[in-house]
Chain A
């Protein structure tokens, strides 16, 4: 048994009783990374020297100084979240030498204040564009449950590192499913908060109206605890909401009696594999046995979500990624003789194919003559998709369905066809377009022994209901206790 099989609360107790030290926890991380990261490839950069000296310092702290909510807990940070003086690449060759960022993202500052220990930076699809981690320009992360399969994306490193027991929790970012989909594929718990719940300051922007940072953990309680810490208004992000942060862990009562669950028929329709459907229906039976009730509903515009998303997200990305010009940071082409060629060649040499494809799509959708037909049309359809959710939430507390239509697919299986890859996000994308919160929790294993995720979607800023619902399921089942069998001690 690894120390990372305990919850944060249990580890807090063990630290308090001096059964273990922070150094033990940090050792557990680096030892596990040494054992398995050759296979998993979750990490891009390790911060070992700093983490070890932080551990030493924390171990010498007085009882009063230990009163921090994440005291000594080892964490991993997705590599599109800026860390001061620690390389931040966004999984891109463009930033391969961005070794000395000038500041910490607000979420990193908050984790530091809570005395968590940063172990390193986690692999991802380049600039968060992808659903399989195959778009990492360094090396694809692999699924700890079967290394021939993808871990999902774009926060594939964040999910795989937690699943493989390399860190106790990680931060990811979710623009169209990039926390929930890899959490589902790797059998861990991942939450995308309500848009505006968590500051985006220091998150390298992909699609600013959709991006949110959220926690990935092994259980719901740990997840709620981390969200409590990273949430809240930030004057550095004017889109962060000035709304009080509840104590999410208090919502974990185990009681879902009378809970009204909506199950969209589109979420169990054709395209959803039989093993995923079976696991979700079994989960609904668990809720019935706990005294909740569910009914079938419709999200009639959800089939338009993928097209809407790719137009809007690519448009925003084409504007956001204009900042990578080879002047102030990142790589610069050595082959350019004038300024314009320098921009073009630096970008072409530094960006991978999917990033270029989306910049092209976005530039096209925003260009003169096409703006109304594509960009504005997509924004109007976004309103219809949002209205579908609003209507359901007038009558129901949460929406439940699968996180993904299928379990993880094989590396290389979908890489040649962008549209097939995009379709993989069909159940997560509507949530980002509407801006509501959603979690993925493990709800079973497929015929091939790969994890399946249950998605629970809540009302705006009602992460408490999402957590309560997820936690009650977790308490009633043991899916979250299952671990992948990788080499080395587990």
Chain B
């Protein structure tokens, strides 16, 4: 696995919805490269035929009936919002 490039770092930042400065991109490139290099030690291990563990307990899907119940009110849902209008969250325009 090659080192991560500065362009890749900027691409990943966009995927993660983070705005980073050129200076930050530089720093992350160095730091992520060394972390990823460190993580490549896992390639020393032969994991052919090993099942991946996503979860340590033997859990099955937990299902319930889809029934409405009292939870939070619309007023409650809006009270921590940075911006709202009437019964809605307000956000900047999506289209230019």
B41 close to A332 (CB less than 8 A) = no
Residue of B53, B57, B83 near A239 (CB, 8 A) is B57
B91 close to A342 (CB less than 8 A) = yes
A307 close to B38 (CB less than 8 A) = yes
Residue A111, interface by CB 8 Å: no
Cβ–Cβ < 8 Å partners of A434 in chain B: 56
What are the 5 tightest A-B residue pairs by CB atom distance, in nearest-first order? A435-B56, A379-B52, A332-B82, A238-B62, A329-B80
Given A308-B42, A377-B43, are A318 and B16 also a contact pair (CB < 8 Å)?
Answer: yes
Cβ–Cβ < 8 Å partners of B12 in chain A: 360, 363-364, 367
B47 close to A377 (CB less than 8 A) = yes
Residue A63, interface by CB 8 Å: no
> In whole angstroms, how far apart are the Cα atoms of A100 and B64 in the complex?
29
B42 close to A383 (CB less than 8 A) = no
Residue of A98, A307, A327, A344 near B42 (CB, 8 A) is A307
A–B Cβ pairs within 8 angstroms, 9 of them: A101-B80, A235-B64, A304-B42, A326-B82, A329-B80, A332-B82, A339-B93, A363-B12, A364-B32
A347 close to B17 (CB less than 8 A) = yes
B77 close to A348 (CB less than 8 A) = no
Within 8 A of B (CB), among A166-205: 195-196
Cβ–Cβ < 8 Å partners of A269 in chain B: none
Residue B87, interface by CB 8 Å: no
Given A102-B76, A209-B56, A419-B35, are A384 and B47 also a contact pair (CB < 8 Å)?
Answer: yes
Q: How far is the CB of A345 from chain B (nearest CB, A)?
A: 5
B81 close to A342 (CB less than 8 A) = no
A363 close to B15 (CB less than 8 A) = yes
A360 close to B16 (CB less than 8 A) = yes
Closest B residue to A308 using CB positions: B42
B80 close to A361 (CB less than 8 A) = no
* Interface of A, helix, strand, loop or mixed by DSSP: helix
Closest A residue to B17 using CB positions: A343
> In whole angstroms, how far apart are the Cα atoms of A342 and B92 in the complex?
7
* Interface of B, helix, strand, loop or mixed by DSSP: loop
Given A364-B12, A382-B53, are A418 and B31 also a contact pair (CB < 8 Å)?
Answer: yes
What's the tally of chain B residues with a CB closer than 8 Å to chain A? 51
> In whole angstroms, how far apart are the Cα atoms of A345 and B94 in the complex?
15
A341 close to B19 (CB less than 8 A) = yes
Given A195-B57, A239-B59, A338-B93, are A345 and B35 also a contact pair (CB < 8 Å)?
Answer: no
A/B pair count, beta carbons within 8 Å: 156
What's the tally of chain A residues with a CB closer than 8 Å to chain B? 68
Residue of B54, B77, B82, B92 near A339 (CB, 8 A) is B92
Instruction: Please name 4 further chain A to chain B contacts, defined as beta carbons within 8 Å, in addition to the given A195-B56, A307-B42, A378-B42, sorted by A numbering.
Output: A304-B45, A307-B41, A357-B28, A361-B32
Cβ–Cβ < 8 Å partners of B50 in chain A: 380, 383-384
A419 close to B38 (CB less than 8 A) = yes
B56 close to A336 (CB less than 8 A) = no
> In whole angstroms, how far apart are the Cα atoms of A310 and B42 in the complex?
12
A377 close to B13 (CB less than 8 A) = no
A386 close to B53 (CB less than 8 A) = yes
Cβ–Cβ < 8 Å partners of A384 in chain B: 45, 47, 50
Residue B85, interface by CB 8 Å: no
Cβ–Cβ < 8 Å partners of B91 in chain A: 327, 339, 342
Residue A311, interface by CB 8 Å: yes
B57 close to A379 (CB less than 8 A) = no
Instruction: Write out, one digit per residue, whether chain B residues 1-33 have a CB within 8 A of any chain A CB (1) or not (0).
Output: 100100011001101111110001000100110
Cβ–Cβ < 8 Å partners of B45 in chain A: 301, 304, 381, 384
Cβ–Cβ < 8 Å partners of B15 in chain A: 363, 367
Cβ–Cβ < 8 Å partners of A103 in chain B: 72
Given A100-B80, A384-B47, are A338 and B35 also a contact pair (CB < 8 Å)?
Answer: no
Residue of B20, B35, B89 near A356 (CB, 8 A) is B20
Kindly name the residue among A239, A338, A361, A384 whose own CB sees the greatest number of chain B CB atoms within 10 A.
A361
Within 8 A of B (CB), among A372-400: 373-374, 376-384, 386
